Each structure stands twice: as C-alpha cells, then as structure tokens.
A and B are shown apart, each in its own frame.
Chain A
Amino acid sequence: DTEVTQTPKHLVMGMTNKKSLKCEQHMGHRAMYWYKQKAKKPPELMFVYSYEKLSINESVPSRFSPECPNSSLLNLHLHALQPEDSALYLCASSPDSGSSTDTQYFGPGTRLTVL
C-alpha cells in the first residue's frame, strides 16, 4: 500500500493565524518531504526529514516550521503567512533517503488559501 495521507484537504487562514498541516504514512518509510506547488508550476522541495531529523531546508522562510514527531508523522506549522503562500502543500515519503534510487510517493496535498 503506497498511501500517504494528509489533513486537512483544504485550509483557509488569515495572516495572523497559526495552523498546522499533518502528514502520515505507514509504509515504514524513513524519509519524508514537504513540497509547495503553485498553480501551473511543478512541485518545489521545501524540507527533507531523514530518520526523523531535518536534513534539507531549501531556504524556506521561518514562518514555515516543520516537525517530525516520529517516523510515521510529519507536520508543517504555519504562522504569519502571506497571501503569496497560498498553494498546494504536498507531503511525500520514500523508503530510504540514503539511496539515489529512492522513489517518492505523494499524499493528496492540502490546498492552502491565505487571506
């Protein structure tokens, strides 16, 4: 079962709100990822967690704060976002980030609108 789940499916928030996006996988994968996708653009990598440790941060603004409570869960905490942060936020997981042939599987995404 190559399933990654994400909640919520949709989120509308104001610029002063604090919210969190959640991602879960039960495939035993040890690498998890956050991507941002704007309309008509490809997904862009934000963060990589490997064995529950943050291993890549693609110079993402601090208003986005990732957290990996355990090997199955990945959160993205949002605070003081801007309207231009509105996008589809995709979570992905892969078996072992130490292998270059790792295949990433994506969750359905959270469609975020910042007002």
Chain B
Amino acid sequence: RKEVEQDPGPFNVPEGATVAFNCTYSNSASQSFFWYRQDCRKEPKLLMSVYSSGNEDGRFTAQLNRASQYISLLIRDSKLSDSATYLCAVNRLTGGGNKLTFGTGTQLKVEL
C-alpha cells in the first residue's frame, strides 16, 4: 500500500463548480499535512498547510481527520486558473529530519 494515496483524476468541472479532493495516508506517525498545487512543467507551490481540524483560505478549505487518516481539499466557485495538479503531502519527523511524502496528485481541469 502506498504511504499517501490520491485519486489521479482528471476531474473535469465547469467554471463555478465546487470540487473536492481526497487523500489518505497509511503512516499513523505522520504529523503535518499539506496541499501543493503544481502546474504543468512547474514546481509544486504550497497551497495550504492543514493542521489539527483544518483551515480555510478564501475559496479553499482543507480538512484533516486523524482518526481516519484522511485529508481533503474543497475548492468553491472554481476558476479556469485553478486548473492544475493538486498534490497531497504528508510530513513525518524522523531521526534525520523531515520526510515529506507526496501523493500521486489529482488533476483538475476547469472548463467554460
């Protein structure tokens, strides 16, 4: 079983739609959680950190459920510019330092 799993998509949604992505992680020692956005042939850019019970930033809401080892990302009123791959990342502090493990990413295409 992969340490971090995501539905690869693609999710094709019309502009203005609400879309939700899910991510599960297998290592209960995981301590912090992130959503990154990656555009084609670009680097991952931090979208949101997800701590404790979750957080909201404008149209984006991230939730964490430690009991189920599950995090989610909700995008409301989606824009064409939201089209990208969304990577879930799970951080675990080891003796050597932080190890960030990414899911395979979920591709989002927002259409007119």
Chain A residues proximal to chain B, CB less than 8 Å = 2, 31, 33, 41-45, 48, 50, 55-56, 88, 90, 94, 97-109, 111
With CB as the reference atom, state the residue of chain B lying closest to A48.
B97
Interface contacts (Cβ under 8 Å), in number, total: 69
- Interface pairs (19), CB distance under 8 Å: A2-B46, A33-B100, A42-B87, A43-B102, A44-B102, A45-B101, A50-B97, A56-B94, A56-B96, A88-B41, A90-B43, A99-B93, A100-B98, A102-B32, A102-B98, A103-B49, A104-B46, A105-B46, A109-B42
In the complex, chain B residues whose CB is within 8 Å of the CB of A56: 94, 96-97, 99
State whether A106 and B43 are in contact (beta carbons under 8 Å apart), knowing that A100-B31, A100-B32 are contacts in the complex.
Answer: yes
Q: Tell me, yes or no, whether B16 is within 8 Å of chain A by CB.
A: no
Task: Give the CA-CA distance A50 to B97 in the complex, in Å.
Answer: 7
What string of 1s and 0s marks CB contacts (under 8 Å) between B86-112 and chain A? Answer: 010001111011111111110000000
Chain B residues proximal to chain A, CB less than 8 Å = 31-32, 34, 41-46, 49, 51, 87, 91-94, 96-105
CB distance from A78 to the nearest CB of B (A): 19
CB distance from B91 to the nearest CB of A (A): 6
CB distance from B43 to the nearest CB of A (A): 4
Cβ contact of B31, chosen from A31, A33, A101, A109, cutoff 8 A: A101
In the complex, chain A residues whose CB is within 8 Å of the CB of B44: 43, 90, 106
In the complex, chain B residues whose CB is within 8 Å of the CB of A109: 42-43
Cβ contact of B43, chosen from A41, A45, A50, A108, cutoff 8 A: A108
